Amino acid sequence: MTHPLAPLLAPRSIALVGASRKRNSVGNDTLRNLLSGGYRGTVFPVNPSYAHLYGRVCYPDMAALPDPVDLAILAVPNRVLLQTVEATIGAGARALLIFASAALEGDGRKRIASLARAANIPICGANCMGFFSAAQSLPAFSALFPPAFRAGGITCIAQSGSLIQALLFNDERLAFNLAVSSGQELVTSAAEFMDYALDQADTRLIALILESVRDPQRFIQSLEKARRRDVPVLFLKLARSAAGAQLALSHTGAIAGDAAVYEALFRRYGVLSVRDLSELAATATLLSAPRRAAAGGLAAILDSGGERELLVDMAAETGVPFARIGADTTRVLQENLDPGLEAINPLDAWGTGREFEQIFETCLVALMDDPDSALGMFVCDLCDELDLHHAYVAVCEAVAQRTPKLLVAMTNYSAWSHRGLAARLRAAGIAVLDGTMPALRAVRHALDYRDLQARAAASPAVAPVAAVAAGNHPRADHWRRLLDARTSALTEDEGYALLADYGIGVPRHEVAESLEAALAAARSIGYPLALKTAVPGILHKSDVGGVRLGIRDDTELAAAYHDVAARLGRRVLISALAPAGIEMAFGLVQDAAFGSFVMAAFGGTWIEHLKDRALAMAPLDESTAERLLSELRLAKVLDGVRGAAPCDRAALVRTFVRFGELARDLGAQIAEMDLNPVLVSAEGTTAVDCLIIPRRASREGNS
């Protein structure tokens, strides 16, 4: 079946509206790209100002073309854009590429999108630089393309044209099969471009540079497709810093943020998140190489003790483990190294320089053959002008032929002075990475992707968001109805009932509206206990003096009740004191695009000061919950410090999982939800305080 984007990305014919003879204009650069890039289809220049352009007939308008075209490229200004789109669609074009910004008066931009959708026409853009398809030899690009371009297995999709141009035009180590500047995505989203790329047999990796995902459901479907095809997906998220900051009644909304939601989404679907272009380029270079990382850690060989120290320091910072070489490997190293050199990994193999080629080759093969070596790295600051470095490249070429594992050459300094040597290494299937930190981050991503694929193979496939929107909990429908009808926050006793239905521990409690009822509750529950105001509408009870803890007898209870009732109202909650423990917090984040996410953090005042949280897409399994909780900075305190008993981590993990099930079932009905604190002790977990604001209550409160 032909892909819906084939008329756009694999067109048999192209009309360039706005073709021009003026040098350095979009219409001229694009036309020269189409005519000189090797494209085998038919190109029709369209511009009423010319009869011929570059030896070809130039047509006055789309209606004058001999036949309808697959793709119409519009190199026209905004002032005539809408009428050009109308004329182009009317002439039967099956796809559009729009360079202009489409900053039109009124609803002009929406009009363009609606016209295209009505005609079932894909659009690249507006406000984009176009695309490059290696299979079609087609640089449909608004900037003049380099004369020589190496095809490969990387697909890059970027909403920023300048960033994609930086990758396309500056680094020949990056070999693309498809590069798309998607711009505003008026009609066709990055997710659809991903889907097309994943149908191409030569796609080995997809790199995304996006501000936001404009088609969430299709994006998730494309991520699942990438995982099935074993195609790594890299994501450079733009506008990370302020996009998700918002005031909220709960702590959760204030500290989660848009970027954190994306990171949780990435973890769920195995997307590798990168921080900048250098990291993206290094990771794409490594993961598009013919080989992938095996089990174990990094094996490295160097010719410098100082550079080895730098490598070890940076590896610790990026979390890259080194292979723990065995006795057989150590023996081979000892037999070949000059006296005084340590037979360890990473290995400084430069001694007196005698027979260095043989020593480096033998030692590097031994390191890579070690069962705990995932990949090998030759560290040297390559320079085309040094004979020594030509010898090092020859060593790498020989080693690559003697091992099935992935081999990388890494330079600590990112300035290019080794293009020739890099080309030799690339031809031998050896990735060349520049810059210590980008290279090691790329290695970390390669190991992460290996582990993600292993976990995916060992566990059931992740269900799409739409499939988990409604759970099967026996009480879910009851709570949906209650929350849908509610125009105010749940009272704490209602919140306790909801948590208890989902298997989350809460203290024994009773509601009282008189001193007599409070005393009766105390006799049933037993001292010591807590008293809290239970008057509807008071969200943060401690802030108004509505909480009394450690009440020991009837006298103290009477005094506490009279004080709270006189100031805040007669309705109170009497509850047992939970066992002393570590304070944790859980929160629900409802993202408009991707649905429900759950957060865990160390609670109380720590949640605001540490700003350290684990965020996961709901629901989550126990292995994911355990892994995320263990990554919190204070996680070690759960194991007991200064004589304290270890907490019941299994109970904490179960609570996180059950909270995720609650979020899956009821997230659409809840605007904000905090459990803070949840006390974790050797006896289990107890949610001491909860804040639940239904979505309807939030809407009406903000209206």
Per-residue model confidence (pLDDT) at position 464: 43
Per-residue model confidence (pLDDT) at position 690: 93
- Residue 468 CB coordination number (10 Å): 19
Token readout for 6 is 């084939």
Least confident of 58-67, 278-287, 375-384, 464-473: 464-473
558-608 tens-digit pLDDT: 999 999 999 999 999 999 999 989 999 999 988 888 999 999 999 866 666
100-137 tens-digit pLDDT: 999 998 899 999 999 999 999 999 999 999 999 999 99
448-499 tens-digit pLDDT: 999 999 888 876 554 444 334 445 678 899 999 999 999 999 999 999 999 9
Per-residue model confidence (pLDDT) at position 597: 95
Asked if 323 and 373 touch (Cβ cutoff 8 Å), the reply is yes
Least confident of 339-353, 357-371, 398-412, 593-607: 593-607
291-325 tens-digit pLDDT: 999 999 999 999 999 999 999 999 999 999 999 99
Per-residue model confidence (pLDDT) at position 469: 42
Backbone angles phi, psi at 303, to 5 degrees: -115, 25
What residues does 302 pair with on adjacent strands? 348, 379
Q: Which residues in 474-491 are b (16+ Cβ under 10 Å) and which e?
A: eebeebeebbeebeebbb
Pairing assessment for the beta strands 272-274 and 233-237 based on DSSP bridges: parallel
600-636 tens-digit pLDDT: 999 866 666 667 889 999 999 999 999 999 999 889 9
Give the Å distances, CA to CA, from 454 to 167, 260, 291, 450, 581. Answer: 30, 24, 16, 6, 36
Residue 233, pLDDT above cutoff 70: yes
CA distance 286 to 446: 7
- pTM (predicted TM-score): 0.89
Residue 204, pLDDT above cutoff 80: yes
What mean pLDDT is reported for the chain? Answer: 92
Say what the alpha-carbon torsion angle 36, 42, 47, 49 is, to the nearest 10 degrees: 70
Pairing assessment for the beta strands 52-53 and 56-57 based on DSSP bridges: antiparallel
Compute the chain's Rg from CA coordinates: 31
Give the Å distances, CA to CA, from 54 to 66, 68, 75, 307, 383. Answer: 19, 22, 17, 55, 42
Residue showing tokens 């399994």: 621
255-304 tens-digit pLDDT: 334 788 899 999 999 999 999 999 999 999 999 999 999 999 999 999 99
CA distance 702 to 671: 12
All domains in the chain, ordered by first residue = 6-283 (3.40.50.261), 297-443 (3.40.50.261), 508-577 (3.30.1490.20), 582-702 (3.30.470.20)
